[in-house]
Amino acid sequence: VAGAVPWITGPAGRVIPWPADRERRPARPNARPSVCIVGGGFSGVLTALHLLALPKGPTIRLVERSPVFGRGVAFATANPNHLLNVRVANMSALPEQPDHFREWLAGHGGWSAHGGFVTRAAYGAYLQDLLRQAVRGAPAGRLLLDTDEVVGARPASRGWRLATRMGRSLEADALVLAVGLAPPAAPPEADDDLLSSIRYVADPWADEGRLAGLGPRVLLLGSGLTMIDVALALADGGRRLTALSRRGLTPRVHGAEDPADGEPAPRGSAAALTRHIRRRARSGDWRAAVDAVRPHVQAIWRDWPAEQQSRFLRHLRPWWDAHRHRMAPAVARQVETMVHERTLAVQAGQLVSLRAGGDGVLAAWRLRGERRVRRRTFDAVVNCTGPIGDLRRVEAPLLRSLMAQGLIRPDRWALGADVDAVSRPLDRHGRPREDFFAVGPLTRGQFWEITSVPDIRLQAAEVARSIAARLAWAAPDD
Ligand SMILES: Cc1cc2nc3c(=O)[nH]c(=O)nc-3n(C[C@H](O)[C@H](O)[C@H](O)COP(=O)(O)OP(=O)(O)OC[C@H]3O[C@@H](n4cnc5c(N)ncnc54)[C@H](O)[C@@H]3O)c2cc1C
């Protein structure tokens, strides 16, 4: 492409030309600093709210590529069967006001609770209401909601220059990546004909509308919370669903009440932690033991040497995920009914091949512990294996652009971007910048437990404070 700038690349490596410099910022020595937050899901919105609350805070541009701000991937679903997997009591968006969500629900009727759990749609409405109030109350020009996709970013003489899908050029003194995680990777066992056919749903969150049109026999790849969501969405229509994952582990269920437990979690190896949880589980509710560890997980993860982290990821992660990310009891009852009525079967096994055939999808897999290969034909396959974190494999233009310039690098375990202890991405040489931050699951390599509201809400507040402390502050009073 003539005149193209090589650091902005499109999804298939296509080079996107750098847009005309229409919005170039004039030199403003005493102007208020500006922060651009890319991604308007939970992480982006909460970071914006905390920045906005700073007395002499920056101007904030929150850029979201979808037309909906505040819901992100998790809270965009309108399905009434999709409940939060964390109790209402633990879902306040504001760390300093633990009852905030509960009080919001009390003041906004119409959301029914299912034993302490409400729909994810209710939570999305809560986040949107928080954002609406912030926009309404913000001093003029402090908060701008911008519907566009940021496709490239590079350091400028002061701060950053950003390129957007709509061809605009933006500038900001600081950049925050709140882009969530990339869609699941295509299964390597699948042939290209299948991957490009209408029988394959590559990302159930992006293609939620397609689920209703799938035929009666559906193969779900993966058996975690995403599989549960998809199974609930497909439950009607006389379908028979088969979920396949290596271990066939499904999420455990929350107890009737939040377990109380004061015993501190031990520091030490992954094996010591497992022994501790097993011992506690024998003498009481295993949920109490897991939940007692949870607030300390970030510190435990950070203290572990690389070899412990590696061992945890290789051997314990599936069990930790199944016990830590639990289903609401009302969801579990529906899943049990499906299993009982044989409309859902969960199998532990290894996929061997997945091919588009004349009248469907031909799947072959080997059950765990068996040599024999089973073959069945399905009408469709839904990839429920969860997001990929490996930055070398993501197609998102912004992350590719940052990777190509060496401004971000994958973390040691390819869970996301390598960041330091205050959430600043590290460049290819391991150096952070003072004007660059990341919030949310992209930072899993550093924090591990950073995928849910109770953890991200703290990180968003900390990142806002860090930005305030680092940006040269010459802002006028509000
Ligand atoms: C299905 C599901 C259910 C969950 N349920 C719960 C729960 O019950 N309780 C709980 O505590 N946690 C839950 N979580 C986990 C957690 O709340 C989410 O992971 C969290 O909301 C992450 O928010 P995020 O903003 O970091 O990412 P996302 O929600 O993925 O939002 C990122 C946003 O960035 C936008 N974006 C990306 N790239 C660009 C770009 N270049 N330019 C512009 N916009 C861009 C995307 O469109 C998206 O809206 C759930 C997660 C999922 C996936």
Q: Which tens digits make up the pLDDT trace of 265-322?
A: 667 788 888 888 888 778 777 888 888 888 888 989 999 999 999 999 998 888 888 8
Three-state secondary structure string covering 58-75: CEEEEEECCCCCCCCCCC
Angle at 31 between CA 27 and CA 32, to 5 degrees: 135
**Rounded Cα distance, 128 and 42, in Å:** 10
Q: How far is the CA of 73 from the centre of ligand 1 (A)?
A: 4
Q: Which tens digits make up the pLDDT trace of 423-470?
A: 999 999 999 999 999 999 999 999 999 999 999 999 999 999 999 988
- Asked if residue 63 has its Cβ within 6 Å of ligand 1, the reply is yes
- Kindly report the average pLDDT of the chain as a whole number: 89
Q: For residue 196, what are its two tokens?
A: 């490009």
Q: How far is the CA of 66 from the centre of ligand 1 (A)?
A: 12
CB 389 within 8 A of CB 181: yes
Query: Which phi and psi (to 5°) does residue 207 adopt?
Result: -110, 30
The DSSP string of 331-377 is: HHHHHHHHHHTTSEEEEEEEEEEEEEETTEEEEEEEETT--SEEEEE
- Is the pLDDT reported for residue 168 higher than 50? yes
Q: How far is the CA of 313 from the centre of ligand 1 (A)?
A: 22
Q: How far is the CA of 453 from the centre of ligand 1 (A)?
A: 10
Nearest-atom number in ligand 1 for the CA of 66 is 47
Query: Which residues make beta-bridge pairs with 81?
Result: none
pLDDT (0 to 100) of residue 264: 66
Q: How far is the CA of 182 from the centre of ligand 1 (A)?
A: 10
Q: pLDDT exceeding 70 applies to what percent of the chain?
A: 90
Which residue pairs from 405-410 have beta carbons closer than 8 angstroms and sit at least 24 positions apart in sequence? 405/7, 405/154, 407/153, 407/154, 407/155, 407/433, 407/436, 410/445
- Asked if residue 44 has its Cβ within 6 Å of ligand 1, the reply is yes
pLDDT (0 to 100) of residue 280: 78
Q: Which tens digits make up the pLDDT trace of 179-207?
A: 999 999 999 999 999 999 999 999 998 87
CB 60 within 8 A of CB 32: no
- Is the pLDDT reported for residue 87 higher than 70? yes
Q: How far is the CA of 181 from the centre of ligand 1 (A)?
A: 8
- Asked if residue 159 has its Cβ within 6 Å of ligand 1, the reply is no
The residues near 173 (Cβ < 8 Å, ≥ 6 apart) are 33, 34, 35, 58, 158, 159, 160, 435, 471
Please classify residue 92 by burial: count the beta carbons closer than 10 Å to its beta carbon, then call 0-12 exposed, 13-18 middle and 19+ buried: buried
Reported as a pLDDT band with limits 50, 70 and 90, residue 389 is very high
Q: Which tens digits make up the pLDDT trace of 116-132?
A: 899 999 999 999 999 99
Q: How far is the CA of 256 from the centre of ligand 1 (A)?
A: 27
Q: Which of 394, 475, 317 is nearest to 402 (CA)?
A: 394
- Is the pLDDT reported for residue 339 higher than 90? yes
pLDDT (0 to 100) of residue 112: 78
**Rounded Cα distance, 216 and 199, in Å:** 12
- Asked if residue 199 has its Cβ within 6 Å of ligand 1, the reply is no
Q: Which of 330, 313, 331 is nearest to 321 (CA)?
A: 313
pLDDT (0 to 100) of residue 17: 41
Q: Which tens digits make up the pLDDT trace of 102-161?
A: 999 999 987 878 888 999 999 999 999 999 999 999 888 899 999 999 999 999 988 999
Question: Probe ligand 1: pick from 42, 254, 423, max atoms within 8 Å of CB?
Answer: 42
pLDDT (0 to 100) of residue 18: 41
**Rounded Cα distance, 333 and 330, in Å:** 5
- Asked if residue 65 has its Cβ within 6 Å of ligand 1, the reply is yes
Pairing of strands 59-64, 34-38: parallel
- Asked if residue 66 has its Cβ within 6 Å of ligand 1, the reply is yes
Q: pLDDT exceeding 90 applies to what percent of the chain?
A: 72
Question: Probe ligand 1: pick from 79, 144, 452, 458, max atoms within 8 Å of CB?
Answer: 452
Q: How far is the CA of 478 from the centre of ligand 1 (A)?
A: 31
- Asked if residue 46 has its Cβ within 6 Å of ligand 1, the reply is no
